[in-house]
């Protein structure tokens, strides 16, 4: 299994895609930080400039790349079918579940790399901006939020791999996943949190402690630990489903 | 080292299409086995079943009794080159092989060795997206050789190769078989394996229509002599006077059911000028065409 994980890491390292996605992620993180801090204190904004949670809210933007990591996971799998590398992959390792497992691990690892880079950028940018404006730089809840960011970034990749394995068609998987996270989930979490809190997006908001910010009526989402468990459950259940349902199909 | 492949009642249906129909055959070590059949005969489907990529509707395919999925180290035991095998266009050729070597837990050195074997060293750092068809084929062959396996299963390996490449491939396959390896090579054109294969399996519409040695197939060929002369009428008369016969095989060309030596002698005795004297060409080709045409119901309702 170690050899297989090494191979999957090598697959990711020998194409340009991860680098571009990392740059995209960091750009999204910066935008998120800027938006959070620059709107703080404006009329109608949920945060005040002396809010002790301001730094925590700002660095929560480090999770802005979660969708990028999701797409990375989807592409890591669907490209094998699109470019036909699934054939040599499954010839070297006929037990297809092991290939899937190794890919899940490798993509999680890359998610961790993305998470660390995102956290560093978010912290540096937030502290610089807040200090420059003379706003609150209280570290209240920052530790928990950063832990949540890492968790989210590590789990979205495997969820993407599993979705990719279930859908197989690259365009359908990417478009479907984006439509789901940006439209369906956002609406569910904001307008119908009793349902939305159980979606991956709802669980993510819970882990990042965005609760009352994410929902339109300021309702609470799941507790942090439950959100974390729910995300793990999504990754595991979707992977098992993929291994059982779609992975064994004929490769012609 | 010697591994025998056994296909036993192998059958695959895709919906109502029977791609492979109750195929039973043995592929022996130390020999090159040509797996022949026209387009759509079911060669690729058979090889994919053999390699665990396609699940048979019924039947089994084994390597010394073990299914491909049950091999402990498949890459070291079976080298494979399949049609429609892909490469990530943005990945360098060397990296493609490194990935496979890593997954199979093979030493990095093997990557350089197989690159040299297929003559891709100079192009190894180029992305495969810019590779020509022949270069892709060489890269696929390199991948098949990575584990230095005792069995090679190659689907149309000559596709896209230039004449030098084809000649190299032929002698390479021969030398692999002479080392005692089992070599199974598919092709839809007979001449491609005619100079390489010891055994042949001929597939038509999913059914095995012939199996045996190439020599047996050859002896079933029509034989005889093709002869060209500016005076076919006189040659025909001379042949008939000697108790033989001749049939027209084109302008100024006759087919004679005698060995070329005998035809030459009779022509010399009769003082007939010959422009060409050779064993009847296409004999084997014709056998192949006959075999694969016979089992071809034109309605396609094979069920
Ligand atoms: N995934 C599939 N779904 C449906 N039919 C298929 C599928 N794969 C192959 N077939 C059918 O099975 C038959 C055998 O195809 P196969 O690719 O094995 O032939 P082949 O001998 O390799 O031909 P070629 O010389 O063109 O490569 C064909 O009729 C083909 O249309
Ligand atoms: Mg084929």
* Token pair belonging to B298: 């034109």
Q: How far apart (Å, rounded) are the C-alpha atoms in residues B78 and B63?
A: 9
Residue of A155, A153, A173 lying closest to A163 (CA atoms): A173
What pLDDT score was predicted for residue B146?
96
Domain count, chain A: 1
Tell whether the torsion through CA atoms of A234, A240, A246 and A247 is positive or negative: positive
CA of B18 to the centre of ligand 1 (A): 9
Percent of chain B at pLDDT above 70? 93
Rounded to 5 degrees, what are φ and ψ at B227?
-135, 135
CA of B105 to the centre of ligand 2 (A): 29
CA of A45 to the centre of ligand 2 (A): 64
Q: Which of ligand 1's atoms lies nearest the C-alpha of B20?
A: 14
Which of A11, A94, A252 is nearest residue B69 as measured by Cβ atoms? A94
How far away is chain B from the Cα of A172, in angstroms, using its nearest Cα?
A: 20
What pLDDT score was predicted for residue B293?
75
Nearest-CA residue of chain B relative to A76? B88
What pLDDT score was predicted for residue A212?
58
Flag whether pLDDT at B112 surpasses 90.
Answer: yes
Contact A88 B143 (CB under 8 A): yes
Mean local confidence (pLDDT), A72-80 = 95
What pLDDT score was predicted for residue B141?
93
Whole-angstrom CA distances from B214 to A42, B47, B96, B201, B295 are 87, 21, 37, 9, 20
* Token pair belonging to A137: 């730089």
CA of B190 to the centre of ligand 2 (A): 14
Flag whether pLDDT at A191 surpasses 90.
Answer: no
Residues 6+ apart with CB under 8 A from A13: none
Choosing from B10, B12, B14, B39 the residue with most ligand 1 atoms within 8 A of its CB, the one to mutate for a pocket test is B14
Q: Considering only residues B220 and B24, tell me which one the structure prediction assigns the higher pLDDT.
A: B24
Flag whether pLDDT at B105 surpasses 90.
Answer: yes
Mean local confidence (pLDDT), B113-120 = 94
Residue of B149, B133, B141 lying closest to B116 (CA atoms): B141
How far away is chain B from the Cα of A6, in angstroms, using its nearest Cα?
A: 7
Q: Which of ligand 1's atoms lies nearest the C-alpha of A252?
A: 1
Q: Which of ligand 1's atoms lies nearest the C-alpha of B188?
A: 25
Residues of B in contact with A21 (CB under 8 A): none
Mean local confidence (pLDDT), A114-139 = 91
Residue of A217, A224, A219, A182 lying closest to A201 (CA atoms): A182
Which of B45, B68, B105 is nearest residue A94 as measured by Cβ atoms? B68
Of the listed ligands, the closest to the CA of B48 is 1
Least confident of B37-51, B54-68, B241-255: B241-255
The ipTM (two decimal places) reads 0.89
Least confident of A53-62, A232-241, B172-181: A53-62
pLDDT in tens, B162-177: 888 888 889 889 999 9
Q: Which domain holds residue A8?
A: 2-248
Residue with tokens 């890269």: B139
Residues of B in contact with A6 (CB under 8 A): 102-103
Inter-residue contact B18 to B302 (CB < 8 Å)? yes
* Token pair belonging to B250: 């084109």
What pLDDT score was predicted for residue B117?
92
Q: Quick check: helix, strand or coil at residue B228?
A: strand
CB within 6 Å of ligand 1 — which residues?
A 252; B 14, 17, 19, 37, 39-45, 83, 188
CA of B90 to the centre of ligand 2 (A): 26
Residues 6+ apart with CB under 8 A from B298: none
The domain locations on chain B are: 5-216, 225-280
Between the CA atoms of A217, A219, A222 and A228, what dihedral angle is there, to the nearest 10 degrees?
A: 50
Confidence of residue A64 (pLDDT cuts 50, 70, 90): confident
Inter-residue contact A205 to A189 (CB < 8 Å)? yes
Q: How far apart (Å, rounded) are the C-alpha atoms in residues B76 and A6?
A: 18
> What class has domain B5-216?
alpha beta
The 10 Å Cβ neighbour count of residue B167 is 12
pTM: predicted TM-score of the whole model, two decimal places: 0.85
Rounded to 5 degrees, what are φ and ψ at A20?
-65, -40
Count of CB pairs separated by less than 8 Å, A with B: 85
Closest C-alpha to ligand 1, atom 5: B14
Residues of B in contact with A246 (CB under 8 A): none
Q: Which of ligand 1's atoms lies nearest the C-alpha of B45?
A: 18
Nearest-CA residue of chain B relative to A9? B99
Of the listed ligands, the closest to the CA of B292 is 1
Closest C-alpha to ligand 1, atom 8: A252
Q: How far apart (Å, rounded) are the C-alpha atoms in residues A206 and A204?
A: 5
């Amino acid at each position: 299994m170690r050899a297989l994980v090494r191979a999957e890491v090598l697959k990711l390292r020998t194409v340009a895609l991860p680098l571009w996605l990392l740059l995209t992620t960091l750009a999204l993180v910066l935008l998120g930080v800027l938006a959070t801090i620059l709107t703080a204190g404006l009329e109608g904004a949920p945060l005040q400039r002396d809010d002790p949670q301001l730094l925590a809210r700002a660095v929560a933007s480090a999770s802005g790349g979660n969708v990028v990591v999701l797409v990375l996971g989807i592409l890591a799998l669907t490209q094998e079918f699109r470019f036909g590398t699934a054939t040599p992959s499954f010839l070297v390792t006929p037990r297809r579940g092991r290939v899937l497992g190794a890919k899940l691990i490798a993509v999680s690892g890359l998610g961790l790399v993305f998470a660390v880079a995102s956290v560093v950028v978010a912290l540096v940018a937030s502290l610089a901006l807040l200090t420059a404006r003379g706003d609150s730089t209280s570290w209240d809840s920052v530790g928990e939020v950063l832990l949540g960011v890492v968790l989210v970034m590590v789990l979205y990749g495997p969820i993407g791999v599993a979705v990719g394995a279930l859908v197989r068609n690259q365009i359908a998987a990417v478009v479907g996943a984006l439509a789901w996270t940006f439209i369906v989930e956002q609406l569910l979490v904001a307008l119908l949190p009793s349902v939305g809190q159980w979606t991956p997006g709802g669980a993510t908001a819970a882990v990042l402690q965005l609760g009352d910010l994410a929902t339109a009526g300021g309702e609470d989402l799941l507790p942090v630990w439950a959100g974390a468990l729910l995300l793990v459950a999504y990754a595991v259940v979707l992977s098992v489903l993929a291994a059982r349902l779609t992975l064994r199909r004929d490769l012609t | 080292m010697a591994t025998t492949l056994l296909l036993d009642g192998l059958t695959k249906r895709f919906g109502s299409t029977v791609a492979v129909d109750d195929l039973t055959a043995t592929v022996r070590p130390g020999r090159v086995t040509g797996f022949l059949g026209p387009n759509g005969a079911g060669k690729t489907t058979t090889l994919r079943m053999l390699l665990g990529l396609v699940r048979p509707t019924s039947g089994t395919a084994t390597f010394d009794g073990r299914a491909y999925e049950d091999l402990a180290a498949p890459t070291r035991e079976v080298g494979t080159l399949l049609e429609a095998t892909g490469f990530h266009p943005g990945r360098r050729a060397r990296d493609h092989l490194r990935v496979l070597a890593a997954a199979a837990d093979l030493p990095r050195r093997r990557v350089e060795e197989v690159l040299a074997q297929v003559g891709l060293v100079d192009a190894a750092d180029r992305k495969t997206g810019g590779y020509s068809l022949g270069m892709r084929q060489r890269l696929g062959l390199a991948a098949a050789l990575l584990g230095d396996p005792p069995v090679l299963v190659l689907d149309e390996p000559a596709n896209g190769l230039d004449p030098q490449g084809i000649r190299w491939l032929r002698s390479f396959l021969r030398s692999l078989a002479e080392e005692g390896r089992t070599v199974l090579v598919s092709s839809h054109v007979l001449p491609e394996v005619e100079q390489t294969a010891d055994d042949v399996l001929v597939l038509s519409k999913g059914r095995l229509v012939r199996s045996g040695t190439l020599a047996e197939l050859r002896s079933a060929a029509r034989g005889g002599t093709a002869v060209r002369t500016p005076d076919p009428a006189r040659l025909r008369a001379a042949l008939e006077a000697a108790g033989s016969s001749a049939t027209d095989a084109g302008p100024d060309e006759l087919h004679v059911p005698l060995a070329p030596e005998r035809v030459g002698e009779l022509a010399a005795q009769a003082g007939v000028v010959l422009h060409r004297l050779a064993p009847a060409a296409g004999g084997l080709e014709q056998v192949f065409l006959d075999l694969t045409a016979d089992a071809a119901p034109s309605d396609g309702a094979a069920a």
